[in-house]
Amino acid sequence: MAVKKTKPQVASKNIKSVPQPEKSLKDTKKTVLNQSKKAKKQKQDERFSSLYSLSEIEETRKSILESPKNYNKIVKLLSNLQTINSIIVDNKDVNSNLLTLSRSLIHNLYEIFSQFISQRLIKVFKGISEQEETVRKWLASKYDTFQNELYSFWSIPFFTEAIATIKIDSLETFMKLIKDEGKFLGPSLGEQYFPTLRYRYVLSKLLTAANIENIDEDNSDYVFSEFKDNYFEKYWDLKFYFFSEFQNIINEITKSGNYHRLVFNKLVTLTKSSPVYDIENKDQIVELPLWVEQAPQNTMYSINNFRLNFEKSWIGALNLKGLTKLEYSSALSILHKRIIPFFSEAQKLMDFLTASYTLGIQTKDILLSILALNGLWELMKSYNLDYPNFYTNLYAILTPDLLHLKEKSRFFRLLDLFMSSTHLSASIVASFIKRLARLSLTAPPSGIVCVIPFLYNLIRKHGHTTCMLLIHSTTSSEEDAVYEDPFDENETDPSKTEAIGSSIWELEAMSNHYHPNVSALVKIFSQQFTKYSYNMEDFLDWSYTKLLDAEMAKRFKGDLGVEFEKWSSMFDEEGYMSEYLY
C-alpha cells in the first residue's frame, strides 16, 4: 500500500516568534562600563606607547644640545611630559615605569634649558639678527612651557608617594632654574642680579597650589613644607625676596578673588616656626648662606629694607577679605613673638587688634578677644602705645562662660601678665577681684581652683590696704546687720563698680563647697598673708577628671564614715530613696 507523502508543516508567517529574554539593566550597565574601561585602558596604552624610552630621552637631549637644527625636538619632550601628566590624572597614581620616565624627562629638560640659560640663549639682546631673535623668543616660550608643565604636577589633587616624588622633583628643578638665571641672565655677566620675576612666579604657584576646600584640615602641604624647610629657612636671599615679592602676589590673587585664606595660612606657617632673623645678632645675617650668590647684597642685607617688606607683607595679608576667626586666631597667637618685633611701625597693627577684639566679643569667642588684648598689651609695654580702654575691654571678658571654657588656663596666664602692672589703681584691682569671686559662685571646681590662688596672688602682689578690706572688713556688727553689697555687676567700667567698698563674701561661701579641694583651698584667706604666692601652673590645668582621680588616689586612715543602715536597693519601694519616689 502506497504511503502518502505529506509536506512538513511550516509555521505561519502571521505567528510571531517567541521573544528572547532581554538583558537586565544591571547587565547592560555592566557591559557599557566594561567597554568604557576597556576603551579607556586601550587609550592609555596608546598614550604610554607614544612615550620615549629612557634611552630615547637621553639621545634626544644630546642631539638638541649638539645642534640648533634639533631644537624642534624639545617639543616632543614637552609633549611627553604633558602626556604623563594626563595619564597620572586619569589613573590617580603613577606606576614605577611612569615615575622613572617622568623623572628622566624633568631632569633632561632641565639639563637642556640650564645649558641654554648658561649660554644666554633665552634672552633677547640688542644687536642680534632678526633670525636669532626669533629663535631666542621661541626657546624662551618653550622654557615657559616647561615651567608650566612642572607646575601642572603641583595641581594634581591626589596623594601617593610616587606623585609626591614628582612634585618634589618639580620644586627642586624650579629652584635650580632660579639659581641658574641669577648666575647667567643678569644685565651683564658677573653683575649682581636676582631673578625676582621668576621667583615671584614660583612663589605664586607655591602659595596657591592646594585644595581650597580642605584648607581647615591639618593635612600638610608637603611641597610647601619642603620649600620652607630646605630653602626659605636656610637661605637669606630667598627669605628676603619672599617678603619683597609677597605684596605683588597679594595684588595678583586679590584680582582673582580666590586663595585668600590659603595664602594667609601659608604665610602664618612660614612665620610661626622661628623668628625671621635673630634680633640680638642681626648683624650676623651677612654670614647667612645665599641660594643665588649673585644677589644684590647692599639691598638684601639691609635690615631696614627687610623690616619694611615684612611689615607690608603682613599688613597686606591682614587686610585680605574673607578671613575667618580661625585665620585671625592663627595670626594673633604668633603676633607678640613672631610679628610685632620685626615691624618698623608696630602701631599699624592697632586697627587689626581692635577689630579682632570686637569680633571676639560679638561672636562670644573669648579666646579671640584674649589674644587680641595680648597683642595690644605688647604694643603698650614695648612701644608705649596708649590704649586707655585696655582694662575696660579686659574686664568685659569676665563673663559666666569664662570659667567653663577649656581655654581658661590660657586666659589666666595672660591675665596674670596683664595685672602685673604696679600702676593699676586700687579700684580697678578690686573690681577684677570682686568680679572673679562672683563668677566662682557658678563655676565648676576646676574653674574655682584657678580663681582662688589667682586672687590670693593678686591681693598679695598689689598689697593695697583698701584691697585688703575686701577680706577683712572693719565695720561694726550693727552695720553688718543691714549690709548691702554696693558692687554693681552691671557696670562695664572697672573703675566705677564700687567694688572697693564691697567684700568678697563669695569666698566665704566657697568654704562650704561640696568639693573638699575647693573648701580646703579657700581657707588660705582666713589666715595671715604670710604665705608665698602660689605657682599658678599647679592649678591651671585641673579638670573634673584630675579632681576625681586625686580623690580616688587618696589613702584614708581608719574607717570611712558610711550609712549605719544597710539597704538592698536604692529606688524601689523599700529602697534608700523610696521617700523621693512619686
User: Hunting for cell 597614581 — which residue is that?
Assistant: 93
- Amino acid at the residue 567: W
User: Final residue of a domain: which of 165, 191, 217?
Assistant: 191
DSSP state letters, 421-467: -TT--HHHHHHHHHHHHHHGGGS-HHHHHHHHHHHHHHHHHH--HHH
The verdict on residue 99 lying in a domain is yes
Beta-carbon count within 10 A of 494 CB: 23
The DSSP secondary-structure symbol of 558 reads S
- Residue 85 structural domain: 48-191
Using the CB atoms, write b or e for 427-459: b if 16+ within 10 Å.
bbbbbbbbbbbbbbeebbbbbbbbbbbbbbbbb
3-state SS, residue 375: helix
User: Hunting for cell 589666666 — which residue is that?
Assistant: 412
The alpha carbon of residue 176 and the mean position of all alpha carbons in its chain are separated, in whole angstroms, by 28
Whether the Cβ atoms of residue 444 and residue 513 lie closer than 8 Å to each other = no
Burial of residue 244 (CB within 10 Å: 0-12, 13-18, 19+) is buried
Residue 484 grid coordinates:
548691702
Whether the Cβ atoms of residue 516 and residue 523 lie closer than 8 Å to each other = no
The verdict on residue 200 lying in a domain is no
Residue 369 grid coordinates:
578677644
3-state SS, residue 271: helix
Helix (H) or strand (E) holding 230: none
Burial of residue 478 (CB within 10 Å: 0-12, 13-18, 19+) is exposed
Q: What are the Cα distances from residue 190, in Å, to 122, 179, 302, 316?
A: 18, 14, 22, 35
Residue 172's Cβ-side half-sphere holds a number of Cα atoms within 13 Å equal to: 10
Q: Give the whole-angstrom CA distance, residue 286 versus residue 90.
A: 49
Residue 230 grid coordinates:
630646605
The verdict on residue 500 lying in a domain is yes
Burial of residue 373 (CB within 10 Å: 0-12, 13-18, 19+) is buried
The verdict on residue 151 lying in a domain is yes
The alpha carbon of residue 86 and the mean position of all alpha carbons in its chain are separated, in whole angstroms, by 31
Whether the Cβ atoms of residue 456 and residue 524 lie closer than 8 Å to each other = yes
Q: Give the whole-angstrom CA distance, residue 518 versus residue 298.
A: 63
Residue 190 grid coordinates:
658677573
The verdict on residue 105 lying in a domain is yes
Closest CA to 349 of 385, 381, 323: 385
Residue 1 grid coordinates:
500500500
DSSP state letters, 366-400: HHHHHHHHHHHHHHHHHH----TTHHHHHHHT--T
Closest CA to 120 of 211, 208, 184, 51: 184
Total count of residues recorded for the chain = 582
- Amino acid at the residue 108: N
DSSP state letters, 299-337: HHT-HHHHHHHHHHHHHHHHT-TT--HHHHHHHHHHIII
Whether the Cβ atoms of residue 183 and residue 291 lie closer than 8 Å to each other = no
The verdict on residue 518 lying in a domain is yes
Closest CA to 174 of 119, 221, 238: 238
Closest CA to 109 of 80, 152, 151: 80
Q: How many independent structural domains does the chain possess?
A: 2
Burial of residue 514 (CB within 10 Å: 0-12, 13-18, 19+) is exposed
Residue 131 grid coordinates:
633670525
Look at residue 8 in the predicted model and tell me its pLDDT. Answer: 44
Residue 270 grid coordinates:
612660614
Instruction: Give the chain's residues under pLDDT 70.
Output: 1-45, 211-220, 257, 463-466, 472-482, 560, 564, 567-568, 570-582
The verdict on residue 228 lying in a domain is no
User: Hunting for cell 543602715 — which residue is that?
Assistant: 565
The DSSP secondary-structure symbol of 100 reads H
User: Hunting for cell 654670614 — which residue is that?
Assistant: 287
In degrees and rounded to multiples of 5, residue 570 shows phi and psi of: -115, -40
Q: Give the whole-angstrom CA distance, residue 206 versus residue 172.
A: 12
3-state SS, residue 53: coil
The verdict on residue 145 lying in a domain is yes
Whether the Cβ atoms of residue 521 and residue 449 lie closer than 8 Å to each other = yes
